[in-house]
């Protein structure tokens, strides 16, 4: 069956450029993953910014596609040459500027950078919409305030998914979820908020630039719309060996928040999901927009244009990864080697054995600034009382608790200020790879049942493949939420865990101490000038 799908060119490919891996998922017409590929990469900290060289984007895509081809060759004895549809997603936000010839004007500034405090504050006040530090428009305006030389030559700027889609199709477009992390979206019109565009143009008029904002932004599309076809140049970019044929239709490129919503069947009003990996964010689909702007909450969209309250934290599992690497090195030195993955699994398993409040140990996982917690720059830090019960289990629990502590700031605000009732959250991402542990801790931390379905580990590339499939099926499938509920997830296997009262109370105690210790985290970053 799967072999015939590939031979007939009926496969649908989802691509996602995440923070630590580029991944591809090939699905069949029954929405099952039949092949996959991956490429490991990592961001660079250069000249004070977190970035990825665009050459690594291109070479990473090629290596990931070669990995997909190897998987297909191994399992089916075939080479992939034809596809029914493709979709591209990537990390949201950031800043990728280009001139009229398509030449990159400055290094890619990723979502992880929080050096836009001045710009974000001005724009938030002028727009009367919360503009987070990582949003593309905040980065653009900060460059203007800094009088960056390249701004006068700017012709187009976009996100990472928009850039890759442009490479593959030549089209300067963006899906509405990813677009809503660039600049405010009007929920009524489904495109850039006209009043904010006008305000931005008035703010920049004094500089005498030859462009207007609406001229340099990508065109906004919703789920199900056609977004261009794979060109010969795009096909050779993915597959230099020449097997992949051009002409494949592509759906609108999206952000990792949107693909997370799709992969967990969380696009209907009243649903929500948590994506937890290098960063962590909660996407809560609303019946109507927020009553006012909150610094802690991003107003974004589902891929089909419903308002979403997004609670985003820059930091999640990076500190767990760092400690696991050190533990694996220690194990090797002791004569009992283990892999990095085995060390991470050991941390998560030990966390279940710790005392409810971590025994007086507090972990701050701030590799980067965490605006939701009030920090512009970050430094990973562990605090413990002299009489703390300093065991491996308690230390492990503090690492896992610390990874999701930030998200609690935003959900508490939405519950108290907007009276938003979260009935159930769907979860996905690397934080949930070890069964049960991350799921039960998240349920306790947010005091809400958390569901993980069988596709949770597939994550972004699977969600993107589903959006590509929806483009093909839209006329017969109807709305996106119906397509997902009736055609994709109707028979999905799920596991739901309610909050454990003991674990919930333990996390509450930990979080109370976590908040009291925040001045130490801020001071640590200032002392080390991070």
How many Å separate Cα 369 from the centre of its chain?
Answer: 16
User: Across residues 521-527, what is the average pLDDT?
Assistant: 91
User: Across residues 222-233, what is the average pLDDT?
Assistant: 98
Interval 207-218: pLDDT, tens:
999 999 999 999
Vertex 176 angle, CA 172 and 179, to 5°: 65
Q: How far apart, in whole angstroms, are the C-alpha atoms of residue 451 and residue 436?
A: 10
pLDDT at position 117, please?
93
pLDDT at position 202, please?
97
pLDDT at position 127, please?
96
Is 208 in a helix, a strand, or coil? coil
Find, among 14, 23, 467, 57, the residue nearest to 252 by Cα: 467
| pTM for this model (two decimals) | 0.82
Interval 309-343: pLDDT, tens:
999 898 999 999 999 999 999 999 999 999 999 99
Structure tokens at 6: 């590939």
Interval 345-354: pLDDT, tens:
999 999 999 9
Q: How far apart, in whole angstroms, are the C-alpha atoms of residue 165 and residue 132?
A: 25
Q: Range with the lowest mean pLDDT among 13-27, 197-211, 409-423?
A: 409-423
At residue 112, does pLDDT exceed 60? yes
Band of residue 404 on the pLDDT scale cut at 50, 70, 90: very high
DSSP assignment, residue 29?
T
User: Across residues 222-234, what is the average pLDDT?
Assistant: 98
pLDDT at position 377, please?
84
User: Across residues 392-416, what is the average pLDDT?
Assistant: 94
Backbone angles phi, psi at 339, to 5 degrees: -80, 165
Q: How far apart, in whole angstroms, are the C-alpha atoms of residue 490 and residue 483?
A: 10
At residue 386, does pLDDT exceed 70? yes
CB atoms inside a 10 Å sphere around CB 214: 14
Report the percentage of the chain scoring pLDDT > 70: 99
Interval 130-167: pLDDT, tens:
999 999 999 999 999 999 999 999 999 999 999 999 99
Interval 262-308: pLDDT, tens:
988 889 887 888 888 888 989 998 878 888 888 888 899 999 999 99
Structure tokens at 60: 């990473």
Interval 49-87: pLDDT, tens:
999 999 999 999 999 999 999 999 999 999 999 999 999
DSSP assignment, residue 229?
B
pLDDT at position 375, please?
87
Q: Hunting for tokens 């069988």 — which residue is that?
A: 454
Backbone angles phi, psi at 280, to 5 degrees: -140, 135
Interval 131-141: pLDDT, tens:
999 999 999 99
pLDDT at position 286, please?
84
Interval 433-489: pLDDT, tens:
888 999 999 999 999 999 987 665 667 899 999 999 999 999 889 999 999 999 999
Q: Domain coordinates of the chain in residue numbers? A: 2-255, 318-406+500-528
At residue 422, does pLDDT exceed 90? no
Q: How far apart, in whole angstroms, are the C-alpha atoms of residue 406 and residue 173?
A: 32
Q: In the CATH scheme, what is the code of domain 2-255?
A: 3.30.420.40
Find, among 386, 418, 401, 174, the residue nearest to 288 by Cα: 418
């Amino acid at each position: 069956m799967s072999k015939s799908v590939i031979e007939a060119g009926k496969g649908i490919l989802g691509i996602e450029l995440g923070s630590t891996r580029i991944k591809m998922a090939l699905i069949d017409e029954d929405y099952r993953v039949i092949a996959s590929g991956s490429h490991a990469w990592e961001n660079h900290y250069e000249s004070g910014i977190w970035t990825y060289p665009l050459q690594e984007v291109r070479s990473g895509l090629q290596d990931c596609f070669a990995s997909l081809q190897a998987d297909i060759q191994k399992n089916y004895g075939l080479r992939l040459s034809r596809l029914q549809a493709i979709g591209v997603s990537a990390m949201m936000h950031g800043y990728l500027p280009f001139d009229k010839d398509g030449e990159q004007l400055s290094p890619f500034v990723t979502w992880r950078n929080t050096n836009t405090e001045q710009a974000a504050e001005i724009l938030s006040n002028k727009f009367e919409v919360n503009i987070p530090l990582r949003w593309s428009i905040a980065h653009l305006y900060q460059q203007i305030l800094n009088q960056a030389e390249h701004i006068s030559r700017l012709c187009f700027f976009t996100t990472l998914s928009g850039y890759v889609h442009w490479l593959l199709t030549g089209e300067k477009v963006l899906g509405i979820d990813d677009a809503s992390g660039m600049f405010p979206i009007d929920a009524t019109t489904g495109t850039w908020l006209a009043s904010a565009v006008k305000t931005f143009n008035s703010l920049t008029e004094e500089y005498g630039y030859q462009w207007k904002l609406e001229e340099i932004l990508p065109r906004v599309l919703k789920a199900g719309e056609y977004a261009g076809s794979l060109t010969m140049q795009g096909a050779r970019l993915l597959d230099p060996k020449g097997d992949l044929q051009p002409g494949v239709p592509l759906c609108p490129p999206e952000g990792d928040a949107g693909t997370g919503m799709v992969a967990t069947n969380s696009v209907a009003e009243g649903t929500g999901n948590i994506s937890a990996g290098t960063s962590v964010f909660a996407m809560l689909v609303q019946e109507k927009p927020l009553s006012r702007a909150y610094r802690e909450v991003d107003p974004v969209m589902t891929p089909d244009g419903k308002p979403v309250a997004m609670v985003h934290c820059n930091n999640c599992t990076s500190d767990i990864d760092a400690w696991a690497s050190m533990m694996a090195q220690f194990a090797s030195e002791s004569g009992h080697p283990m892999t990095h993955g085995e060390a991470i699994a050991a941390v998560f398993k030990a966390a279940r054995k710790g005392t409810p409040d971590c025994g007086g140990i507090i972990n701050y996982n701030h590799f980067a600034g965490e605006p939701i917690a009030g920090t512009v720059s970050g430094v990973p830090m562990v605090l413990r009382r002299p009489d703390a019960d300093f065991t491996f289990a308690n230390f492990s629990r503090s690492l896992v608790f610390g990874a999701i502590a930030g998200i609690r700031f935003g959900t508490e605000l939405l519950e108290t200020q907007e009276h938003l009732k979260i009935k159930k959250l769907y979860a996905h991402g690397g934080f949930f790879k070890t069964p049960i542990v991350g799921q039960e801790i998240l349920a306790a931390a947010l005091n809400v049942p958390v569901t993980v379905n069988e596709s949770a580990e597939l994550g972004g590339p699977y969600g993107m493949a589903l959006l590509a499939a929806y483009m093909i099926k839209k006329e017969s499938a109807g709305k996106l939420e119906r397509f997902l509920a009736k055609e994709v997830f109707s028979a999905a296997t799920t596991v739901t865990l309610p909050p454990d009262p003991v674990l919930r109370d333990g996390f509450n105690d930990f979080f109370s101490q976590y908040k009291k210790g925040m001045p130490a985290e801020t001071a640590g970053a200032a002392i080390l000038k991070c």
